[in-house]
Amino acid sequence: MEMMTASRPKHAWVELVAAVVLCLAVAGLGGLATAPNVGGWYVELVKPAWTPPGWVFGPVWSVLYLMMAVAAWLVWRQGGLAVAAVPLGLFVVQLLLNGVWSWLFFALHSPGAALVDIVLLWAAIVATTVAFWRRSTLAGVLLAPYLAWVSFAVALNFAVWRLNG
């Protein structure tokens, strides 16, 4: 790979840390919308019997955000933005949609608007996963659990919207 310069491996950890910080920043911003509403408004919603217990969401999302960061880093390492502009652009789009969901659902108390967002998010994750897979099989594999979880979240969001509409 001629795109990899001698200095890239030396700075690879910095790029990885940057990817982790970006993903965890989105998680943190989502948490700002979620935390104040989980104990009040969310508790009052009618939810399907198959809703996971609240304690599951934090650990699952933490692992998923870390896997997303590593996947983006793997794609970035192959030449940066100049070589992977489309896959990394898709990654940013899905990351933005991911962050917006918490604000729509929890802060604005709008499961319907959040449902529209999460369907768009799901499509963006599919596109990102395909684009990543083409650049790095491992990067695509790392996004597969995220796609599975968001697929479940689409169904859960839909059920909550229907039960409380």
Q: Does pLDDT of 160 surpass 60?
A: yes
Residues of the chain above pLDDT 70, percent: 94
- Is residue 10 very low, low, confident or very high in pLDDT (cuts 50, 70, 90)? low
Q: For residues 34 and 106, give the distance between their C-alpha atoms in angstroms, rounded to a whole number.
A: 5
Least confident residue range of 3-17, 36-50, 114-128, 131-145: 3-17
- What domains, with CATH codes, occur in the chain? 7-164 (1.20.1260.100)
What mean pLDDT comes out for the span 36-63? 95
DSSP 3-state percent helix, strand, coil across the chain (nearest 5): 85, 0, 15
5 confidence band (pLDDT: 50, 70, 90): very low
Dump pLDDT digits (tens) for 55-110. 999 999 999 999 999 999 999 998 888 899 999 999 999 999 999 999 999 999 99
pLDDT on residue 4:
43
Q: What pLDDT is recorded for position 9? A: 56
The pLDDT-based confidence of 150 (bands split at 50, 70, 90) is: very high
Among 159, 86, 165, which residue's Cα sits nearest to residue 127? 86
Among 72, 57, 124, 62, which residue's Cα sits nearest to residue 97? Answer: 124
Kindly report the average pLDDT of the chain as a whole number: 93
Rounded Cα distance, 117 and 100, in Å:
8
